[in-house]
């Protein structure tokens, strides 16, 4: 396994991050345990989750599964760099609570952290991430909550997810004024088929020393060799089929090029992300052990300049960084 510092921090994480969003809804608890055990055996020390995962409002199903796995002991908690998120709606449907609705108020963050700690059966969260931007709440309030949690030893580092470039800049400039470390990571949708973050998010992350954690690295399955797979399953979903139809010419060229390389499309997609110095650790979300172990090939796959150029031709992206991508 390869490791890297997460952004400008001293925290070292594996170059692949284990995403747990499928734990509960699609992967049973015993299978989830087996995947986490195998991940640790393979050297993956970076686990990502969120309070809303499990998709049963207010219950934190996925965090509970991880908590029961951690409670088995055996050095699990000491080894794992544990990341979770706050922002989403966590109030029970039977008794809605406006202060447990979406947002990043100090009350929401403090209560959200305490609830996640209980579900995860741990005394601290290594990376506590804001799951979305809350422009109705001042960052000074948000940072005051993070500072309190850090002083209490309940949170070690702060990260963001789905932030715009100017949100990252604003957050870190205000953190600097408070003599606070600020954001060390940003979790963004980023893949060959969706390169919008190259305009402003990636440049902001490089400037402020924020490590990029791409989610949906396979574009929801579009980059996973979908054309060679038998029809049916989750790929039969009408929304997926609509997305595939819109990008089919590119996907056909992409899979043909992967065939020329004699590599699996999913491995090429991950290797492309790993070739970007701004990227710390793409999130893989295996539903099975085979999917987990199969992802490791990407760490050994080094794409040369001609291969990267060909991928740029198939998926050209936004044309570079803003404003040069669209202005003279």
Instruction: Let me know if 254 is a catalytic residue.
Output: no
Domains and CATH numbers, the chain: 3-220+273-302 (3.20.20.100)
pLDDT tens string 216-263: 999 999 999 999 887 766 777 888 888 989 999 999 999 999 999 999
Out of 53, 157, 208, 254, which one is annotated catalytic? 53
Instruction: Report how far apart, in Å, the C-alpha atoms of 228 and of each of 52, 72, 238, 327 are.
Output: 33, 40, 18, 40
The partner residues of 283 in beta bridges, in order of sequence, read: 17
Name residue 14's beta-bridge partners.
3
The closest alpha carbon to 185, from 81, 106, 308, 270, belongs to: 81
Q: What is the pLDDT of residue 232?
A: 65
Q: Residue 139 and residue 145: Cα distance in Å, rounded?
A: 10
| Tens-place pLDDT, residues 58-113 | 899 999 999 999 999 999 999 999 999 999 988 877 677 887 788 999 999 999 99
């Amino acid at each position: 396994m390869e490791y890297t510092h997460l952004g400008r921090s001293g925290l070292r994480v594996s170059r692949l991050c284990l995403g747990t969003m499928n734990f509960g809804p699609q992967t049973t608890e015993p299978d989830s345990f087996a995947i986490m055990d195998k991940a640790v055996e393979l050297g993956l020390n970076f686990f990502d989750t969120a309070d809303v995962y499990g998709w049963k409002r207010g219950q934190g199903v996925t965090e509970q599964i991880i908590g029961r796995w951690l409670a088995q002991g055996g050095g699990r908690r000491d080894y794992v760099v544990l990341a979770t998120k706050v922002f989403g709606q966590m109030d029970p449907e039977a008794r809605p609570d406006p202060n447990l609705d979406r947002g990043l108020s100090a009350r929401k963050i403090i209560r959200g952290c305490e609830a996640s700690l209980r579900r995860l059966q741990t005394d601290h969260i290594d990376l506590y991430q804001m799951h979305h931007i809350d422009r109705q709440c001042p960052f000074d309030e948000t940072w005051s909550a993070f500072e309190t949690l850090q002083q209490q030893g309940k949170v070690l580092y702060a990260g963001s997810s789905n932030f715009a470039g100017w949100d990252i800049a604003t957050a870190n400039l205000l953190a600097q004024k408070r003599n606070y470390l600020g954001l060390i990571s940003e979790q963004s949708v980023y893949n060959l088929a969706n390169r919008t973050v190259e305009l402003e998010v990636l440049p902001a992350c490089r400037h402020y020393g924020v490590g990029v954690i791409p989610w949906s690295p396979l574009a929801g399955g579009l980059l996973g060799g979908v054309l060679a797979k038998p029809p049916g399953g989750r790929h039969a979903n009408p929304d997926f089929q609509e997305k595939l139809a819109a990008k089919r010419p590119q996907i056909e060229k992409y899979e043909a090029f992967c065939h020329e390389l004699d590599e699996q499309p999913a491995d090429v997609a991950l290797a492309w992300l790993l070739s970007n110095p701004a990227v710390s650790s793409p999130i893989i979300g295996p539903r099975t052990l085979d999917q987990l172990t199969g992802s490791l090939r990407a760490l050994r796959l080094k794409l040369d300049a001609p291969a990267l150029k060909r991928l740029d031709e198939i998926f050209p992206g936004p044309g570079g960084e803003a404003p040069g991508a669209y202005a003279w």
